Amino acid sequence: MTARPWIVDDDVWALIEPLLPPWPERSPGTRPVPDRLCLQGILYVLHNDIAWQLLPLEPGFGSGQTCWRRLDRWQKAGVFDQLHRILLAGLNAAGRLDWSRACLDGSHVRAKKGGADTGPSPVDRRKTGSKHHLICDGRGTPLKVITTAANVNDIAQTLALIDVSPPVAGRPGQPRRRPEALPGDKGYDSDPNRRALRKRRILPVISRRGAPNIEGPGKLRYVVEQTFALLHQFKRLAVRWGRRTELHDAFTSLACSLICWRRLKKHNS
């Protein structure tokens, strides 16, 4: 971690720049703030969780409104999901993804201003919140995050996490998108889900309620908890301020990409 983690180095920019939608050759108004500086402003907000209007002007980010609009534009173009997929492919090519199993869990976050996909907090029902549902590989690399209301049951998102996980290239043959096994604690006990996982050629290793815990899944829980800890180090994700889910998802995809980038950079160094 650098002293200024929002600075975009040349290697990261080389991956992101080709994904950005081009500006019209003749756009009305003043010349737009360069994309690289806007991205650094977005990263500044992601790391520090400040209001857009408080974004400092000295580094040249442009106004908070400029960065907010650029974030919205790039999310609609699918830039952050594409970046995440490219970095997952790089990790897969390097043999740094563990497809023998996947881990999943949910984590509650406060939603200070309400908005879409918020609901009564399971911790305090007088307050609204959202939940991050995360699936990661056996090494804790994030594959996908889904944002729902805080009162949505984890079981309901099991198959959704599997089905929306991106296909990961990087190896010969068809892109990989499903693990061999899915360990889970008793919170994921569901016979319909077990049958659906087997149809997807995934072995469910999920403890049943009222029965002794299956040895193994409980020990693997730290993997997904560690991934949540990495995700919520980005302060913008630890508390939800935005009312629009798609912009919150833009931040989660960008954070997942940065986690993947750090792991890939560590492997290559």
pLDDT in tens, 221-235: 788 999 999 999 999
The alpha-carbon radius of gyration of the chain (Å, integer) is 19
User: Could you tell me if residue 164 is inside a domain?
Assistant: yes
Total domains in the fold of the chain: 2
User: Could you tell me if residue 266 is inside a domain?
Assistant: no
Low-confidence spans in the chain with pLDDT less than 50:
1-2
On whether both 71 and 113 belong to a single domain, the answer is: no
- Convert the pLDDT of each residue in 118-143 to its tens digit: 998 877 777 899 999 999 999 999 99
Cα dist. 124→72, 127, 128, 244 in Å? Answer: 31, 6, 8, 22
pLDDT at 28: 64
On whether both 227 and 183 belong to a single domain, the answer is: yes
Q: How far apart are the C-alpha atoms of 59 and 64, rounded to whole Å? A: 12
Q: Which amino acid is at 128?
A: T
**Angle at the Cα of 99 from the Cα atoms of 94 and 104, rounded to 5 degrees:** 120
On whether both 49 and 177 belong to a single domain, the answer is: no
Whole-structure pTM value: 0.92
User: Could you tell me if residue 4 is inside a domain?
Assistant: no
On whether both 189 and 63 belong to a single domain, the answer is: no
From 182, 189, 184, select the one nearest 208 (Cα to Cα): 189
How many CB atoms are located within 10 Å of the residue 99 CB? 16
User: Could you tell me if residue 114 is inside a domain?
Assistant: yes
Cβ contacts of residue 26 below 8 Å, gap of 6+? Answer: none
The backbone region for 139, taken as left when phi is positive above 0, alpha when psi lies in -120 to 50, beta otherwise, is: alpha
On whether both 112 and 41 belong to a single domain, the answer is: no
pLDDT at 1: 39
Alpha carbon dihedral 232, 136, 244, 110, in 10-degree steps, equals -40
pLDDT at 253: 97
On whether both 124 and 184 belong to a single domain, the answer is: yes
From 87, 130, 103, select the one nearest 247 (Cα to Cα): 130
Domain that holds residue 187: 98-241
User: Could you tell me if residue 210 is inside a domain?
Assistant: yes
**128-137 and 142-149 strand pairing:** antiparallel
